[in-house]
Structure 1
Amino acid sequence: MSWTVKLAASAAVALASVALAQEAPDDTASVATPFNSTTGLRLPSNPELFGTTLPTEVRATAIVNGTVITQTDIDQRLALLAIANGGKIPADQMQTLRQQVLRNLIDETLQIQAAKGEDIKVSAADIDKTVARVAGNVKQTPEQMADYLKGNGSSIRSIRRQIEGEIAWQRLQRAKVENGVSVGDDEVKAVIDKMNASKGTEEYRVGEIYLSATPGNEAQVAENAAKILAALKQGGSFVGYARQYSEASTSAVGGDLGWVRPEQLPAPIAAAVLTLKPGSVSDPIPVPGGVSIIALQDTRKILTADARNAVLSLKQVSMSFPKGITREQAEPTVQKFAAAVTSIGGCGGADKLAADFKGEVVQSDGVKLRDLPAALQEMMLPMQVGQATRPFGSIDEGVRTLVICGRDEVDPTAPTFDQVYSQLNEARVNLRARRYLRDLRRDAVIDFR
């Protein structure tokens, strides 16, 4: 479940810093060398072990710089993850997920503590606003959502804690990270010039789940990646899994790398992207420092007119059916609804159509045509303002139609200086924020109980 929504900029700006983060998980870029990542530790080739064996399964609580993470915290966050992915967690994935949730809660705790250390406060009112927005997105009040979460093994407290962590981390980044980042005018100009020179070439909207690995845990990471891939192929949310598992700086935005060209990506990822079709997911890809799973969301040509870039103003008219009704029983009403849609009379007739079928109307502006499901894109490409789509949906979830109230075509020109500056600056901030969190982990005192 995503508590914050981030829209990727329409400009195709080089995400060089993201690629660098993948190639060099720490501060140093990968360099051709006869040594491996453990060289600096001077480890013996046949070490003698002392003390007692560490437990292979960590299920207990943890104390992070004095702040307790309880087993209830872990269980409720696991339940939240299950809700976000539409069902129960398979038993064979439970322990892996439990470990990842604990790591996430430790990071979250460190972020909240670091913000408080800089006198950055997140008030209850700040959290209330986001909770209300999240509840509104699922057409519930905060109280109704709290009851729903409790009935499914989670709690409103778990959501509030995650929201507090995200707000605290965002404010801490602005205070401690963004002020130290600079983007030169010449860098921005170079990106714009490169885009103009690349006009007409193909670019790709890519998502990534990145898992770091060391020589000592490569097998475990590969196993985790395989389990994530299996869950994705069974319908799991790529955005949800990226938020929970990915160790790249893009995890907060569901792994979204934005619009990129193959040459902007590490070679193994670029090769995989070229073999994928929109909507498909790659097998785990070995990359320097770990493995990545790539999702290809869409393709387009740089600075070239594309009707799918149109921005729409829509009204959705939907009607629902009583629980337990069969398709045969619902079919006559669906046919009447479909006939009425053909003579809706533009957006002005949407309210009457809804009233006639005891349905509801939802208006939405600023909808990008290319963000709609593929079947709807194909149907709506030739449609004009005032026309409605054929009814779609299901008997169980409701049948609906979309009416086009406005359509603005997007000028395929290069992005503005400010747009490019903003995205370059953001990519650089994300990289520094990742390093900042790494330093917080290194300095933390964590006691597992």
Structure 2
Amino acid sequence: MGLLVLVGFFVFGLVVGIPIAITLGLSSLAYLLVMDIPAVVMPQKMYAGMDVFVLLSIPGFILAGNLMNRGGITERIIRFANALVGWIRGGLGLTNVGASMLFGGITGTAVADAASIGGVMIPGMKKAGYPADFSAAVTAASSTVGPIIPPSVPMIIVGALSSISVGKMFLAGAIPGILMGLAMMVTTYIIARRRNFPRQEWKGGGEIARSFAGAFWALAMTGLILYGLLSGIATPTETAIVASVYALVVGLFVYRELPLKEVPKILVDSAVSAAGILVLVGFANVFGWILVSERIPQTIADAVLSFTDNRFVIILIITVLLLIVGMFMETIAALIILFVPLLTLATSVGIDPLHFATFAVLNLMIGLTTPPLGVCLFVCAGIAKLPLSPVIIAILPYIATNIFILLLVCYFPPLATWLPSVLLP
């Protein structure tokens, strides 16, 4: 009875459009009341879910990204990417993908990427003669690279849910993220050739050098973050704080485009964003605790293993499940609810936890661009001032491309595990 109430409230909340965090909280509370469990369990489990040291890095990375973005980073990164690939057919589309790859190493969130890059690139591409639906589609698709290339908020969540090192998670996403970006560049080029999109003139090596010099301090943040993690000098939380201080100094004194009077507002905005994530983590932890108490993870594992114990088939089942879930559920909530049950299933057939965690995150990132609830789709369609349907049609080649890369990562584990094994043995 209790489980039926839990699922019923959860599905009802999703259908009527209640925010996912509130849906998780209400459905969990309904379960506790029906099962006559003291309501005090809810704040206890919420606090236990949020009382994880590595989660303190999330506000730090969000703040660092906001400071760098307000401090002139977006335009400099776009200029550098444009100098590298803008002269190729469909160059602004390639620039869009390249900028997202570079920008993702700073913000760690797809929505921030879509809003920041899209706010500049979508109007610029439309002005240069690119179709609005294509401009929005390539922006939405490329924004999913952000949470794959380190740093990554979803991967921090995964580290908090398991014993997997956040540093290893960051490194595990590097190669898949680069492959995703390159594959989307190839897709963009093919579309550009077929539809005869414009290209810019080659501006010479001098422009590459000048644009790199302008973007250097922004790009160096990624190196700072990785050095802190790989050297062992700092934990992810300490690295996030150092990155925030670095971003403040660069914005105020190097780029000089970050007004000091805006810093308090940036602090508040970052705190609100981080609080939203942590509240979601807290409610989802209560929901996850209920699932574990009802033995749902073990039931799922037993049900699948009774059907097959073939590792390749199980990877395919997990992949399809996460792709479907990603169409309807927010990424962090899906991770908190499903990661542990599916990790139990994956490890039972010998799948490396680091490998599983990487393709699970990659899976749910693709969900940010799939209807009906792809958040990045809504953001980019809004910037392009288009209804959702033409953007969905335009993004289909990119979804196919990203699913191809996902399958490569799923069935060739070294793409995720090799770099961490070399740099963090």
Q: TM-score, normalised by structure 2?
A: 0.26
Tell which structure's C-alpha radius of gyration is larger.
1
Q: TM-score, normalised by structure 1?
A: 0.25
- Write 1 or 2 for the structure with the bigger share of strand: 1
- Write 1 or 2 for the structure with the bigger share of helix: 2
Higher relative contact order (CA 8 A, sep 6+): 2
